[in-house]
C-alpha cells in the first residue's frame, strides 16, 4: 500500500503563538497568571493565525463506532452488544458523553463504521472486524473504504463550520486494538502495554496479553509498511480515525484528543503525515499504557488526569470548557 495517500500538513502559525506568550509576559506583574492555560490559548491562536484567538463557537465531537472480532476472545468484561446499545443512546442524546457535550456547549456526531448489527448509517465498512490475533482486521477494499470515510467526515465537519474537532471512539475491545498497534510500532512488550481495561479480571488480562502478543507477531515483518500493519491488526473504526485526524490537520483545524484509541490513531496519523501533532492538544489521560506511550512520543501533556475510561470523547469533552476558558481569559487580558 502507498503511504503517499496522506496530504502534507503545514504547521500552525508560530508567530501568533509567540505573540500571545510575549504579550502576556509584558503584562506581568499586573496580568493574571493562568499557568498552562496560557499554552492552550497560544496554541489556539497559532491554529487560528490570529491574536488573541477567537472564542470557539462550534466545537464538534465525532465518535467513530466499531466492534472488534478480538472481543469474542474474552479480552473485556463488557458484553459484546454494548457497543450498539451505547451508539443508539448517543444518537438520541443519552449517555455521559452527551452530558459532557451539553455542559461544554458542543455537539456530537456518531459515525457507525463497523458496529456488529444491521446498518443504519451510510459510512459503513463491515459488521465488526477480523480477530487480529489470527486474521486480518479487514480486506484491502475495506481498508480503503475506512480511509475514505475518515477523510470525508473531516471535510464535512470543517465545511459545516466546526472550529474545533474532538475525535472519539466507541466499541468493546478498543484498548486491545490500541495496545496492539502501539506495541507493534513502538516495539513495546505486550505485558508492558496492556492496561487494566474496564473490569478486567486476572484471567481476562492474560487472554488480552496473549491476543496482543499474537497480533504483534503477525506483523513482525510489516512495521516498515504502516498501512499494511494497520490493515492487519487495527480495525475499520481505527483507520477512519487516523484518516479523520490527518485530514483535519491538513485543513488546519485544531483537535482535542480523548483516550487510548484516539491517541494511538493520532500517533499513527503523525507518523503518516508529519505535522499533525501541531494541531493536537491532549484532553485527558486514561490508565492505559498505550495512551501514555503515544502522548510521550508526541510530547503532549493532557489537561486532565481523571482516569476516565468511558470513551465516546467524554474525557476530552470534559476538558473542553478549560480550552474555551483559556482563549477567553487571554482575550480579556489583551483587550
pLDDT greater than 90 at residue 30: no
- 326, 322, 320: which is closest to 61 by C-alpha? 320
- Spatial contact of 173 and 132, defined as CB atoms under 8 Å apart: no
pLDDT greater than 70 at residue 26: yes
Which range is least confidently modeled, 32-36, 151-155, 160-164? 32-36
Q: What is the mean pLDDT of residues 296-320?
A: 97
Task: Calculate the dihedral angle through the C-alpha atoms of 212, 218, 220, 222, rounding to the nearest 10 degrees.
Answer: -120
| 28 Cβ contact partners less than 8 Å away, ≥ 6 residues apart | none
Q: What is the mean pLDDT of residues 71-94?
A: 93
CA atoms within 13 A on the CB side of 183: 30
| Domains by residue range for the chain, with CATH | 57-323 (3.40.50.10210)
Residue 158 to residue 149: CA distance in whole angstroms:
14
Evaluate the CA torsion angle 51, 325, 298, 65 in order and state its sign.
Answer: negative
Q: What is the mean pLDDT of residues 68-84?
A: 92
CA atoms within 13 A on the CB side of 145: 16
- Spatial contact of 68 and 235, defined as CB atoms under 8 Å apart: yes
What is the distance in angstroms between the CA of the first residue and the CA of the last residue of the chain?
51
DSSP 8-state assignment for residue 105: T
| pLDDT for res 122 | 67
Q: What is the mean pLDDT of residues 108-129?
A: 88
- Spatial contact of 58 and 180, defined as CB atoms under 8 Å apart: no
pLDDT greater than 50 at residue 3: no
* Helix (H), strand (E) at residue 281: strand 280-282
pLDDT greater than 80 at residue 297: yes
Three cell numbers, residue 149: 470515510
33-63 pLDDT tens trace: 889 999 999 999 999 999 999 999 999 999 9
| pLDDT for res 2 | 47
pLDDT greater than 90 at residue 224: no
Residue 213 to residue 131: CA distance in whole angstroms:
13
Mean pLDDT, the chain, whole residue set: 93
- Spatial contact of 9 and 273, defined as CB atoms under 8 Å apart: yes
Q: What is the mean pLDDT of residues 266-291?
A: 97
Q: What is the mean pLDDT of residues 285-304?
A: 97
pLDDT greater than 60 at residue 290: yes
| pLDDT for res 4 | 45
230-242 pLDDT tens trace: 999 999 999 999 9
167-222 pLDDT tens trace: 999 999 999 999 999 999 999 999 999 876 666 788 888 999 999 999 999 999 88
Amino acid at each position: 500500500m502507498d503511504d503517499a495517500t496522506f496530504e502534507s500538513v503545514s504547521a500552525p502559525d508560530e508567530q501568533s503563538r509567540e505573540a500571545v506568550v510575549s504579550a502576556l509576559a509584558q503584562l506581568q506583574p499586573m496580568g493574571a497568571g493562568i499557568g498552562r492555560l496560557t499554552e492552550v490559548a497560544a496554541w489556539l491562536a497559532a491554529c487560528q493565525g490570529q491574536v488573541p484567538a477567537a472564542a470557539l463557537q462550534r466545537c464538534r465531537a465525532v465518535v467513530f463506532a466499531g466492534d472488534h472480532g478480538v472481543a469474542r476472545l474474552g479480552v473485556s468484561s463488557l458484553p459484546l452488544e454494548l457497543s450498539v446499545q451505547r451508539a443508539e443512546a448517543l444518537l438520541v442524546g443519552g449517555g455521559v458523553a452527551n452530558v459532557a457535550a451539553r455542559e461544554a456547549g458542543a455537539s456530537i456526531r456518531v459515525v457507525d463504521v463497523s458496529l456488529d448489527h444491521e446498518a443504519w448509517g451510510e459510512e459503513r465498512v463491515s459488521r465488526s472486524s477480523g480477530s487480529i490475533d489470527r486474521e486480518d482486521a479487514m480486506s484491502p477494499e475495506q481498508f480503503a473504504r475506512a480511509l475514505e470515510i475518515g477523510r470525508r467526515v473531516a471535510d464535512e465537519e470543517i465545511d459545516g463550520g466546526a472550529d474545533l474537532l474532538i475525535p472519539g471512539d466507541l466499541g468493546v475491545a478498543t484498548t486491545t486494538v490500541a495496545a496492539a498497534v502501539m506495541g507493534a510500532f513502538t516495539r513495546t512488550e505486550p505485558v508492558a502495554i496492556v492496561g487494566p481495561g474496564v473490569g478486567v479480571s486476572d484471567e481476562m488480562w492474560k487472554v488480552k496479553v496473549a491476543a496482543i502478543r499474537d497480533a504483534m507477531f503477525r506483523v513482525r515483518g510489516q512495521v516498515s509498511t504502516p498501512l499494511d500493519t494497520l490493515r492487519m491488526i487495527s480495525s475499520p473504526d481505527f483507520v477512519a480515525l487516523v484518516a479523520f485526524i490527518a485530514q483535519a490537520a491538513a485543513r488546519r483545524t485544531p483537535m482535542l484528543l480523548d483516550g487510548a484509541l484516539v491517541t494511538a490513531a493520532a500517533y499513527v496519523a503523525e507518523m503518516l503525515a508529519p505535522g499533525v501533532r501541531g494541531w493536537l492538544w491532549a484532553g485527558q489521560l486514561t490508565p492505559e499504557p498505550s495512551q501514555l506511550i503515544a502522548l510521550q512520543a508526541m510530547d503532549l501533556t493532557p489537561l486532565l488526569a481523571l482516569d476516565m475510561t468511558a470513551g465516546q470523547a467524554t474525557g476530552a469533552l470534559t476538558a473542553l470548557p478549560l480550552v474555551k476558558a483559556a482563549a477567553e481569559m487571554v482575550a480579556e487580558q489583551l483587550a
